[in-house]
Structure 1
Amino acid sequence: MSFVARLLLFLFCAATPALAIANALAAAPECPAIDANDAYARNSLMHYVCYYQASPGEPAHSARRPGELPESLEWSSARGHDLTFTQTRSVYWIRLNVRNSGNERRTWYLNLHYPLLDEVTFWWSRDPTDVLVTGDLHRFGSRAINYRYFLLPITLDSGESRSITLRVHSSGALNIPLKLESPEELITASNHLAMTHGLFYGAILVLAVFNLLLFISSGTAYYFHNALYMGAMGLFLLAMGGYANQYFWPESPQFANLSIPLMLVICALAMSLFGRSFLEVEQGTRAYTTLKVIIWTCAGFTGLTLILPYSQTILYNTALSLIIIFVLSFIALNRWRQGYQPAKWYVLAWVIMAGGALIYAAAAFGYLTDFLARESLMQIAIGGQVILLNYAMVQRWRLLNNKLLEVEQQARTDLEDKVHERTAQLRSTMRELENANRKLAALSLNDPLTGLYNRRHMDNILTELCAESRRTGQPLTVTLLDADHFKSVNDTWGHGFGDLWLQQISSILCRHVKRPRDIAIRFGGEEFALLLPGTGTEGAQKVCEAILEELRTTKIEAPDGKIAKLTLSAGIATLLPNESQQTLFARADRALYKAKSRGRDQVVLADIQCI
């Protein structure tokens, strides 16, 4: 037995394996026939069942149909016990003789109510070609009845007897619980299970979605971890119970087996993440380091689950999950002792879960009989755990809310003490801020290089000047000026020398724009503008001609010792009745463009027809 199997045996504290009991049973020469009409006999079906364990190497192990079995085969009676076996490579042959003592033709169902069997083959008639081959390694549609368990309909005429043979083989533990049920009994049991399982899985789904919504709304990590845990646990139980294979992936027999250990290790990962965040395990502590190692181990086991065979991964992942349950319970117990009250409910939740998981694992691995009862017990344990965990989260929320109220009350008290002190400081700061805003506003309206107004100021003031001109009837002229071939200046002598020219142009503009209301503006790189309220086209033209003449005669020594000259081109437009400032500016810009296209170093008046 491997180390993991020994660990499971120790954790489960199981009784002597059913396989050992079965081997000790005396051999029976033949199986007694069961009267299918006798309800008492049907309830004691396992007293009529015979089986044979064919170990690897035996002829019965390689036999593919009953006719290939040796005639000297010694069948053993089940003696009323469910056939449960731990992991084995053996093939199990099952035989049941059924007769109908009634006066009419009737149908019964042989129910093998354990869904996790790789290969199950039924022979139920005298014709050897009447065979049903099914199991987890086959598509779900291979089953005789669309049901999570393996059902075989048996129809017998009045007085007819029939021998039913099963061949069962599986890579994991083997449970072969059999029932012979009438259609009425099967429907009643199925309805009962549908109701109880519907309530259970519906509650799990609702709580998982509710925790997910809480995570989305609050961003608290443990709500997401709890939703992940409940979702993975629900899928694990659905896979173990056969529902997932029936409804979720009926066409994927390989994933049907893979899903069980995969969901189990995801459960282990989710409950580790949830425990670390919910219990508020501090970094640097031994508990935090332990949980960190466990989380990374779960991640590694998730990868191994996709590689290793099912028979190994189910053992490893089960052992890991049980270990995590006990580690989380121990950490929660310490947090409870440290005064963290929500940990009390967390401990109770995991105590219930630990008991249910041990019994369920023992039944799943063949150490306990009656898997169906253990499945119901596991659902009760998980239901109790989920209720306690969610109640623990409510208690934690109340604790955090109380702390928040205390902090809020203390903050309110401190705020009231400081409000008078801060009020005086705030008033002083507001005065300083107003002064700074005034200075900032002034700075934001001026060009830092030339000291002239900038484009923002022009946009603000031009609207007012246009409105004033329309109201008073006084002229308003806009002049746009642009330095000719300024790019060659920058390219030849650098931007520093270009800045000297821009400052020189600004000085010339300031000397010629003398009236208090005239405004000189730099609104681009080498682009300038003059706003001349109360000045008509002729007056603006004279000002521009004087500016261009002075710049022609201006010389500046370049960094290489050469004497550099520069010229300006200008476009002039005077506001027309009902003309917008945008149109005014556009006419001046087109006039400037004409001055450039006509050879530069000249003034061009805007064409009235341009509008």
Structure 2
Amino acid sequence: MLLYLRHLTILAMLLLTTSATMAAYPAKTANCPTLDASSPEQREALMDHVCYLSAPPGSPTHDAGTPAELPAEAQWKAANGHDLVFSHTNAVYWVRLNLHNSSDVRRLWYLKLNYPLLDEVTFWHSGNHGTAVIATGDQHPFMSRGIDYRYFLLPVTLGSKEHATITVRVHSSGALNVPLSLDTPEATIAQSNHLTLTHGLFYGALLVFAAFNLLLFFSSGTGYYFYNAFYMASLGLFLFAMGGFANQYFWPDSTGFANTSIPMLMSISTLAMTLFGRSFLEIRPDSATDRVLKGQALASLSLIAMAFVLPYNKSIVLSTTVALIIIGSLFVIGLIRWRQGYLPAKWYVMAWSGMLAGALIYALAAFGYLADFLAREIFMQAAVGAQVILLNYAMVQRWRLLNQKLLNVEQNARTELELKVHERTAQLRNTMRELERANRQLATLSLNDALTGLHNRRHLDNLLPELCAESRRNGQPLTIALLDADHFKAVNDAWGHDFGDQCLQHIADILRRHVKRPRDVTIRFGGEEFAILLPGTSADGAMRLCERILEDLASAPVKTDNGKSVTLTMSAGVAGLVPGEDERDLFRRADDALYRAKAAGRNRTELSAPVQS
């Protein structure tokens, strides 16, 4: 980026040095040397034979309307090979060229003034057949030129050995460029064809690029495509007017608008380039840079309106100054955005550096500080063409960058979605595991007694039919023992329900201590009622187990809160499953045995009587 600034600084210094060397033409002369029109070498050195006269306001030469009215003492100056270029001035300039045809035949040449933006141009062709006058310029209808051509052409016909004098009076409200050439019709046509091809390619390419960007805008709705089309169209129209084409084709009879259109179109171009730069460089709204660009846009709008109010010589200077400031400002803003890491700004800066150089040179030529306006015009077109190509390439790079960002966003979104799905799946799995654990806990709570931790009546109802079916299937014995605490109501009445719960927990501990086999199940199915399911155990084995439980319980009293001991006893009834019996009959027989034990004095175990067949 610093390299671009260094090169532009050097270029600006060279341009200023060039303009400073445009010294006043020396050597006053009373007589202009005669040019032999039939000599190609002398025609090539036309400006060595040209004299000019500067007529400031108030001088007799300024008020003269014809060459005959010029004072005899007028001080003519020789051009000495230099193009006649003058910065903004109110003076009238007279130009004289003496011609001679040394050939033996009558010949035709064209004296061409290759600068279209002149308010008043009058030609006097004085020869053997009198004086012919052509009065033309932007303050006259275009067809006053006599020849339909954007530049000023004067046909010069000289007979054999004939002498003639060409006098030109030029006056304009802006800068004056008077680049003269004398060419044969063949050379004039060839040069015209060449320029027509060059201009056709240039303006045609601008039109195609503008239309293409406009179509992109309509298809995508992206603003900077519209601004780019607006910029290329307005800049092309401005150069079209500066080249004299607009006056030739668009408003040939609008003599006043020919001058007004130049600063107006220039301001429209600066407005378009500001809007495009603001959109393309993605300037953050309400930032300092955004405020600068908005100010430039407002200034351009103001200058568009002022072009219809201010005199041309003031309006063009003001518009050109603002245009150069805006072009330089956009160049600097592009450098800043490039440094901030915005990659498309690289191509924008490259495009704008050429535009900045071209605009400086073109402005210096248009204002009379550089000669050869035609060459500067071609240089400006080359700079604009390079800029258009680079800007459109920059937009391609910007589109590619945006597309890559979209792909990255899509990839990141996909990755993020996969991560979220993975996280949600993991969360769902955790939730399922927690739910399964909760279900198991719920199942445990639903099948276990909360006070004692033993299984409850529901578990008994679920399990007993299965054990009975299993016993019938494999022929293994199945025994059930029902146990009930003796006089437990008296315990609750005497010591309270809290102590009663403590006693139930004590009973459950003793049952767990004696019922150890994996398949044996201990159940609390009532308040102080317990059951033991003993698959694979005979009735005798169940009797012995119950007797040990009752003995252990009777020998382990429970301490009350005041230190007293309470001895608990239980009664038990045992029944073994017999063929043809279901779970209800088995439970009923065990319950009958329990009641017999209680009736026989409690703290004892009774075996169910055999089933009578």
Range class of TM-score, shorter chain? 0.5 to 0.7
CA-CA distance at 1:409 after TM superposition: 2.0
1:272–1:328 Cα contact (<8 Å) kept: yes
Does the residue aligned with 2:170 lie in a helix, a strand or coil? strand
Quote the offset at 1:11 in angstroms: 11
Decide whether aligned partners of structure 1 residues 255 and 312 sit closer, same or farther in structure 2, where only a CA change above 3 A counts: same
3-state SS of paired residue (1:92): strand
Q: CA deviation at 1:419?
A: 6.7
Say if 2:263 and 2:319, in contact at 8 Å, map to a contact too.
Answer: yes
> Which of 363, 367, 384 is matched with 2:369 structurally?
367
Q: Distance in 1 between matches of 2:166 and 2:377?
A: 28
Asked if 1 retains the 8 angstrom alpha-carbon contact of 2:53 and 2:93, the reply is yes
Matched, 1:79 2:80: yes
CA, structure 1 residues 125+41, in 2 after alignment: closer, same or farther (shift >3 Å)? same
> Deviations 1:420-440 (Å, cap 9, x if unpaired)?
979xx9xxxxxxxxxxxxxxx
- CA distance, structure 2, for counterparts of residue 46 and residue 94 of structure 1: 11
**d(CA) in 2 for partners of 1:251, 1:12:** 37
Correspondence for 2:488: none
2:338 pairs with one of 336, 339, 344: 336
Partner of 2:270: 268
Once the 2 structures are TM-superposed, how far is the Cα of residue 418 of structure 1 from its aligned partner? 5.7
- Cα distance, 1:166 vs structure 2: 0.5
Specify the alignment match of 1:532 in structure 2: none
Partner of 1:56: 57
The equivalent position to 1:406 in structure 2, one of 398, 408, 424, is: 408
1:446-474 C-alpha deviation (Å, 9 max, x unpaired): xxxxxxxxxxxxxxxxxxxxxxxxxxxxx
Distance 1:131 1:397 in 2: 59
Contact 1:19 1:85 in 2 (8 A): no
Report percent identity of matched pairs.
59
Does the 8 Å CA contact 1:17/1:368 hold for their aligned counterparts? no
RMSD of aligned residue pairs (Cα, Å): 2.0
Give the CA deviation at 1:300: 1.2
Aligned amino acid, residue 51 of structure 1: Y
Equivalent residue letter for 1:194: T
Residues in 2 aligned to 1:355 and 1:256: alpha-carbon distance in whole angstroms: 27
Contact 1:17 / 1:86 at 8 angstroms: preserved in 2? Answer: no
Matched, 1:13 2:16: yes
Verify: 1:395 aligned to 2:397, yes or no. Answer: yes
1:163: which partner in 2? 165
Number of the residue aligned with 2:92:
91
Alignment of 1:21-32 (within 5 A): 21-22=24-25, 25-32=26-33
Instruction: Point out where structure 2 has 5 or more consecutive residues left out of the alignment.
Output: 1-11, 429-613
Secondary structure of 2:30's match?
Answer: coil
Deviations 1:295-319 (A, max 9, x none): 1111111111121111111111111
Residue pair 1:60, 1:70 contacting (<8 A) in 2 also: yes
The one-letter amino acid of 1:347's match is V
Following superposition, the deviation at residue 290 of structure 1 comes to 0.9
- Deviation of 1:413 (Å): 3.6
Task: List per-residue Cα deviations over 1:481-526 (Å, max 9, x = no partner).
Answer: xxxxxxxxxxxxxxxxxxxxxxxxxxxxxxxxxxxxxxxxxxxxxx
- C-alpha deviation, 1:383, in angstroms: 0.8
Q: Deviations over 1:387-413 (max 9, x none)?
A: 111111000000100111111222234
Greater Rg by CA: 2
Q: Is the 8 A contact 1:18 1:368 kept in 2?
A: no
Taking the TM superposition and a 5 Å limit, the aligned residue runs for 1:18-167 are 20-22=23-25, 25-126=26-127, 130-167=132-169
Contact 2:19 2:370 in 1 (8 A): no
Check 1:406–1:16 CA distance in 2 against 1; reply closer, same or farther (3 A cut): closer
Letter in 2 for 1:87: H
Question: Take 1:221 and 1:12, find their aligned partners in 2: how far apart are those partners?
Answer: 36
2:197 to 188, 195, 198: 195
SS of 2:126 mapped into structure 1: coil
2:323 paired residue among 291, 312, 321: 321
How do residues 216-235 of structure 1 correspond to structure 2 at under 5 angstroms? 216-235=218-237
Inter-partner Cα distance in structure 2 for 1:120 and 1:212: 41
Residue number in structure 2 paired with 1:308: 310
User: For residues 261 and 172 of structure 1, what CA distance do their matches in structure 2 show?
Assistant: 11
Instruction: State the 1:10 CA deviation.
Output: 9.1
Name the amino acid aligned to 1:28: T
| Matched residue type, 2:347 | W
* Alpha-carbon contact 2:331-2:352 (below 8 Å) kept: yes
- Deviations along 1:255-310, one digit per CA (max 9) or x if unpaired, are 11111111111110011111111001102321111111111111111111121111
Distance across 1 between alignment mates of 2:253 and 2:47: 33
d(CA) in 2 for partners of 1:10, 1:297? 28
Matches of 2:116 and 2:17, distance apart in 1: 22
Offset, 1:18: 7.5
What is the CA deviation profile of residues 100-123 of structure 1, one whole-angstrom value per residue up to 9, with x for unaligned ones?
Answer: 111111100000010010000001
- The structural deviation recorded for 1:20 is 4.2
Q: Can you list the C-alpha shifts for 1:539-587, whole angstroms capped at 9, x where unaligned?
A: xxxxxxxxxxxxxxxxxxxxxxxxxxxxxxxxxxxxxxxxxxxxxxxxx
Cα distance in structure 1, aligned partners of 2:365 and 2:401: 40
Give the TM-score normalised by the residue count of structure 1: 0.66
Query: Aligned equivalents of 1:63 and 1:314: distance in 2?
Result: 28
**Are the counterparts in 2 of residues 53 and 90 from structure 1 also a CA contact under 8 Å?**
yes
**Per the alignment, do residues 132 and 246 of structure 1 end up closer, same or farther by CA in structure 2, a change over 3 Å counting?**
same
Query: Structure 1 residues 170, 232: CA separation in 2 closer, same or farther (over 3 Å shift)?
Result: same
Task: Give the aligned partner of residue 239 of structure 1.
Answer: 241
Q: Secondary structure at the match of 1:253?
A: coil
Partner amino acid, structure 2, of 1:106 = R
Q: How far, CA to CA, are the matches of 1:18 and 1:151 in structure 2?
A: 30
Distance 1:229 1:146, change over 3 A: same
Unmatched runs of 5 consecutive residues or more in structure 1:
1-8, 426-611
